Amino acid sequence: MSLYKLGKGLAGGLASNTPPITIRTAYNAGTDNLPFGYAVAFGGSSIQGAVMPEDSAAKIVGVVHQNHQTAKDYIAPEEDFAITQNGDVFVVAEGAVSPEDPVFVYTDAGTIGAGKFGTVAEGTNSIELSSCSWLDKTDEGGLAKLSVTIF
């Protein structure tokens, strides 16, 4: 089953038009493809650069934004793209989520997969995002609505 078209939204797409919404431009400064709906961190030689979070010291800058369905489900290295920093967005969650659960982003150093969101810390291989919150309940991993407040 694809995580990118489940009938309730698109990974990285806005889940609500309710302000405040902050979307800014960036470019993929890393060597990995950046999937829509995943978290990204500062990276590269410019403030516009974004990469997959490598470790718990990574500074999360937002969620890879998608405003329409495309032929591919990622941003390739050196491509420009948009990041959602504030707003309600569909993200890729690892496991079930519920509004009262904490929000974590997983890093390259862990076993879950860099940039995915979840509710359980993976030791030093995850980053807690205390300013973000789950907006609905899901019984399994996949798309979940997240209220994002990064900046």
pLDDT 10s per residue in the chain (151 long)?
344 443 468 899 999 988 899 999 999 999 999 999 999 999 977 778 999 999 999 999 999 999 776 778 899 999 999 999 999 999 999 999 999 999 999 998 877 889 999 999 998 999 999 999 999 988 887 899 999 999 7
Query: Is 80 a domain residue?
Result: yes
Rounded to whole angstroms, the Cα distance separating 115 from 10 reads 16
Query: Is 9 a domain residue?
Result: no
Nearest-5° angle of CA 55, CA 59, CA 60? 100
Q: What DSSP letter does each residue of the chain carry, written as one string?
A: --SS-SSS--TTSBS--PSP-EEEEEEE-SSS-EETT-EEEE-SSSTTEEE---STT--EEEEE--SS--SSSEE-TT-EEEEEEEEEEEEEESS-B-TTS--EEE-TTSSS-TT-EESS--GGGEEE-TT-EE-S-BSSSEEEEEEEE--
Range of 113's domain? 22-149
Query: Is 45 a domain residue?
Result: yes
Q: What pTM did the predictor assign?
A: 0.89
Q: Residue 63: which residues within 8 A CB-CB, separation 6 or more?
A: 12, 37, 38, 39, 40, 83, 84, 89, 91, 146, 148
Query: Is 8 a domain residue?
Result: no
Query: Is 127 a domain residue?
Result: yes
Rounded to whole angstroms, the Cα distance separating 148 from 86 reads 5
Query: Is 15 a domain residue?
Result: no
Query: Is 38 a domain residue?
Result: yes
CATH code of 117's domain: 2.40.300
Query: Is 5 a domain residue?
Result: no
Number of domains in the chain: 1
